[in-house]
């Protein structure tokens, strides 16, 4: 079965750290860009970060740059999100997702076709 499963969420105090993990199965993990996206309670989706197939290119939302680090281990089919300096506003359900990165005559489109069920992060004192 093709799927991604997140883990590592929990409750942490402001200023604390958490490391989220996402394990992929059913497809060649190392062939795809991967993404973290979150949804805060009562709010909409927010793109957080993504990483290329080899782990060399990484991009972040303005709200997390300098605090969050995305990484991957292709040998273990795993994606990670190290979250430091957590803030109350980081409270959200965090989704791991696959991007097919569709190439149309040299122009690439995000095609985020596979999502997990999410792992909940709560930042509270």
Partner 1 sequence: AIQMTQSPSSLSASVGDRVTITCRASQGIKNDLGWYQQKAGNGPNLLIYAASTLHAGVPSRFSGSGSGTDFTLTISNLQPEDSATYYCLQDYTYPRTFGQGTKVEVK
Per rule CB under 8 A, is residue 94 in the interface with partner 1? no
Per rule CB under 8 A, is residue 109 in the interface with partner 1? yes
Mark the segment that binds partner 1 (CB under 8 A) among 10-18, 42-50, 66-74, 81-89: 42-50
Q: Which is nearer to partner 1, 30 or 47 (CB)?
A: 47
Q: How far is CA 90 from CA 10, 72, 85, in A?
A: 12, 21, 10
Mark the segment that binds partner 1 (CB under 8 A) among 13-21, 23-31, 43-51, 77-85: 43-51
Beta strands in the chain (DSSP E): 3-7, 10-12, 18-25, 33-39, 45-51, 58-60, 68-73, 78-83, 92-99, 102-104, 107-109, 112-115, 119-123
Per rule CB under 8 A, is residue 80 in the interface with partner 1? no
Per rule CB under 8 A, is residue 88 in the interface with partner 1? no
């Amino acid at each position: 079965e093709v799927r991604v499963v997140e883990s590592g969420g929990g409750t942490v105090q402001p200023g604390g750290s958490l490391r989220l993990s996402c394990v992929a199965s059913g497809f060649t993990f190392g062939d795809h860009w991967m993404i973290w996206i979150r949804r805060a309670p009562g709010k909409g989706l927010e793109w957080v970060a993504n990483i290329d197939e080899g782990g060399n290119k990484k991009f972040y939302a303005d709200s997390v740059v300098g605090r969050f680090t995305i990484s991957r281990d292709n040998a273990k089919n795993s994606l990670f999100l190290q979250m430091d300096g957590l803030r109350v506003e980081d409270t959200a359900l965090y989704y791991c997702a696959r991007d097919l990165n569709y190439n149309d005559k040299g122009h690439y489109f995000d095609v985020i076709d596979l999502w997990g069920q999410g792992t909940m992060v709560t930042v509270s004192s």
